[in-house]
Structure 1
Amino acid sequence: MGVAERAHYSRLPPAGGSIPASSADSDFGTSPPSRRCRSLCLSIALLLLIASPIVTIFYINFFVIEHEDDDTALMYSDRAQIYSIEEFLNKDSSFTSSQKTAVDKSKSEPLKLVCYYNYPQHENNTPQLLPENIACDLCTHIIVAFASIKNNSLQLNEDIIRTITEIVELKKCNKELKILLSVGGAGDNDGFVDMVSNHTTRKTFIRSVKSFLTVYSFDGIDLDWEFPTVGFQKPGNHHNLLSANDNIRKVDKRQRQHFTQLLREIRMEYNREHKPYLLTVAVAAPSTIVDSAYDVEEMNKYVDFVNVMSYDFHSYTKYTPFTGFNSPLYNRKGEVLYFATLNINSTAHMWNNKGMDRNKIIIGLPTFGHSFTLVNSNNAAPGSPSAGYGKLGHNGFIDFIELCHFMNNTDNERIIFDNETASPYFVSGSEWISFENMESIVNKAKFIKENDFGGAMIYSLNSDDYSGACALKTDGKFYLTRYVNNALFDYDL
């Protein structure tokens, strides 16, 4: 209310009275008040009508779309309305009721068992897991790893194309099986960095993804970029967190934002084409990386689920020269501050507290272990000093099949189960190995169910006992993965 209006209403007489003409005229002129009010209202309405397009254009340009200096990346704002997939489908009348129902059901989806599979390299003469040796009912989702990015597009070599063709055959005996392609990996960050940098390069990538999904009949794409805004380039095929050979690389602090934009644009393209493709992301477990690398609440709007790499919590590095568990369920009493968060329980709840839906959190369980060389073989407790990697495995990584072969052929050994962390470790002389066995893997699968998380992720089928060659062969092939399957879905395999 304006000053003149407040002055006018303050002089109103009691009900039934009237304002003397002279008094009214002295304040407001000679026109009747109602006519003056109508004129004022019409003027304001006309002004708003003219100004509203200008205000809208100003808002879009300065708050929703930000033009960068060297590119035209589409930005998002907290004040801009960004639809999740559920909101998008409910607003879009072109979707059928059955499609809307399918999305509604996704809120109460059954548990998932997501299994990573590293494609075999045919120039490698060592024994490898082939697609035909994977049981079609072992996992609910199989993610083939890893495709790379070149010239802002998916790069597929002959080995991965051959694997893709063969892995799709598994759907013939399990129509419910979902198969995805993982892009990136720990040793392939450069292509990702260049691709996410602006809207044009992201568009090129999305076009290549759409083409791939159409040609090879895959169910979706998994993005494994380790990690936006974190300056480490890690060698090897494992989802490993740290290595003594880490190389520092220059990072752009806007990569976190660009990565979220990529997720948004992929989801929008899926929605535009009315395709039920899956969009998943392999994500870090330590809070220090999560805080700097991911906008969790925004990611939650666009991803179907995230595969949390809740392993490699402890491995030998020059910064951590002591023994520790690869994938502990809980922390030990002696672990405090940051080290107390390096476990499955803390990581899973942290992702949920930061904004990821509980049923979208798929918890990673490793089939590989980490080896250490003890400084003193008489001091073998968890946290004891280590002089380097163990003799077994490669750079501290040891596959389950190699470990069980070693355990079957050595007499001087001890296997201890740590109740605090629900994890076992193996000691033989100066060799100290953190690994998984039936008891630990079942405990972790039960934790997932009891806490209503979305399921388990296995990394990887290749490092499990896929041949059934161990003394545990009576339990069949894929020893660890089958125990997770059994615990999640409550039946014996």
Structure 2
Amino acid sequence: MKPNYCFVFCAGQKKMFCYFNSESQYRNGIGTFVPEDIDASLCTHIVYAFANVSGLELTNTNWNDQIPGGLYERTVALKRINPDLKILLAVGGWEIGSDPFRELASTWQTRNQFAKNVIKYLRKYGFDGLDMDWEFPAARGSPPGDKRKFTDLMRQLQSEFTKEAAETGNDKLLLTLAAASGTFYINLSYEPRQLIPTLDYMLLMSYNYHGNWENTTGHHTGLWPNNIDQTRKERELNINWSVDYWLNQGIPKEKLIMGLSAYGMSYTLNFTNQNQVGAPAQSGGRPGAYTDEAGILSYFEANSYKGWNRRYIPEQDSPYAFRGDQWVGYDDKASLEIKANYARDRDLGGAMLWSVETDDFTGSCGDGRYPLLKTVNNIIRNKQTGEKSSNC
């Protein structure tokens, strides 16, 4: 009997966007992650990160993206498990910055040709849409005029996607935006009221409010302000502020997808006896055994938390832990349940998780596979998974 996947796309159902960072194929040991590790039943949309840009063309990032039996093909093959699944290709990301986008956004002709080339690329490899992740227009080497040109680019992409669907009878390609959540990049990069109508969904990057670029500890996914936040800027660095901002700019609730984090942001403390939120810190925390990146710890790196002193920030609905000179803010099942309930109670379009390979996808914590993603599904999509309490 064919499985019933109606729960994914029936009218009024919430969306669950799952980012997959393809660089995780290179990680060590149990950290190695490939498309077959994704539980397709837990996502309505998978976003493959990342493609790059060369001239006016999309291009691959990994050597094995495009080859027969490569990562593109294996990711798209997940539709055999969940036929209603939509798979998008994300272009950009923090690492490549603004430079590759400047030429293609520069004129009507370059924007138009890029849009046509994007359609060919997405159709060739079986993707259902494009997630634009230019970080960020009119910033990081991009001139101020790119703010307006970015709106024009998104408008042209949506226009060409609509035109192609009308001419071919294909389902229209989706256009989403991985959107900034704080005023610094929002004000520099976007024309919100002009940009919103170009989008099918906005994937709000409502995380990284704090991190190792600062000299004090802070939780990167606080739902609300911390009690130590005093200035207006400080009190904007939380999920609730970002959601309010974009709703006030006119985005329909059903288009706004709230971002959640499966990774922790870590610090190295200046003094081991000062370990509270706001404690002095000198750098990112030591790399995890599998993700191997300073300042980042995946949830599945459970040994990083075992034996640590755990604390909870009640006003932010977020946990942190410390041991010696190491400090990490993270999310667990309890905090993600609160945040997913917030998205549901505000009737947003759904949730997004960055990223599936930083959840406990192997079940090494003794809590089953994907404890965080399943927790969010239980709330956002009313999809009961019967998971027990977390050991991580």
**Could you state the TM-score of these two structures normalised by the residue count of structure 1?**
0.70
Please give the residue correspondences for 1:165-314 in structure 2 after superposition, counting only pairs within 5 Å: 165-188=73-96, 189-231=98-140, 249=141, 251-273=142-164, 274=166, 275-314=171-210
Q: Does residue 322 of structure 2 align to residue 322 of structure 1?
A: no
Q: Shift in Å at residue 376 of structure 1?
A: 2.0
Bigger relative contact order (CA 8 A; separation at least 6): 2
Q: Which residue of 2 aligns with 1:57?
A: none
In terms of mean alpha carbon deviation, does 213-222 or 423-432 score higher? Answer: 213-222
CA-to-aligned-CA distance 1:245-274 (integer Å, 9 cap, x gap): xxxx3x311111111111111111122222
Q: Shift in Å at residue 122 of structure 1?
A: 6.1
CA-to-aligned-CA distance 1:332-388 (integer Å, 9 cap, x gap): 222121000100001111011122222211111111111112222222111111122
In 2, Cα distance between the equivalents of 1:186 and 1:389? 17
Gaps of 5+ in 1: 1-105, 232-248
Alpha carbons 2:25, 2:34 under 8 Å: kept: no
Runs of 4+ in 1 over 3 A off after TM superposition: 120-127
Aligned counterpart for 2:64 among listed residues 143, 159, 177: 159
Equivalent residue pairs, number: 360
Alpha carbons 1:152, 1:191 under 8 Å: kept: no
What SS class does the counterpart of residue 369 from structure 2 fall into?
A: coil
CA-to-aligned-CA distance 1:373-430 (integer Å, 9 cap, x gap): 222222211111112222243221111112x12233xx4x211111100000001122
Q: Which residue of 2 aligns with 1:51?
A: none
Q: Shift in Å at residue 491 of structure 1?
A: 3.3
Alpha carbons 1:120, 1:163 under 8 Å: kept: no
Identity rate, percent: 32
Residue identity matched to 1:175:
P
Q: Which residue of 1 aligns with 2:304?
A: 406
Q: Which residue of 1 aligns with 2:388?
A: none
Aligned counterpart for 2:324 among listed residues 429, 434, 439: 429
What SS class does the counterpart of residue 65 from structure 2 fall into?
A: helix
Alpha carbons 1:120, 1:159 under 8 Å: kept: no
CA-to-aligned-CA distance 1:85-140 (integer Å, 9 cap, x gap): xxxxxxxxxxxxxxxxxxxxx9x742111011012476666542111121120111
Q: Say which one has the larger Rg.
A: 1
Alpha carbons 2:19, 2:47 under 8 Å: kept: yes
Query: If each structure's helix is expressed as a fraction of its own residues, which one has the higher value?
Result: 1
Q: Does residue 39 of structure 2 align to residue 135 of structure 1?
A: yes
Gaps of 5+ in 2: 1-8, 386-392
CA change 1:333–1:121 in 2 (3 A) is closer
In 1, Cα distance between the equivalents of 2:250 and 2:106? 25
CA change 1:302–1:418 in 2 (3 A) is same
CA change 1:361–1:371 in 2 (3 A) is same
CA change 1:122–1:137 in 2 (3 A) is closer
CA change 1:299–1:210 in 2 (3 A) is same
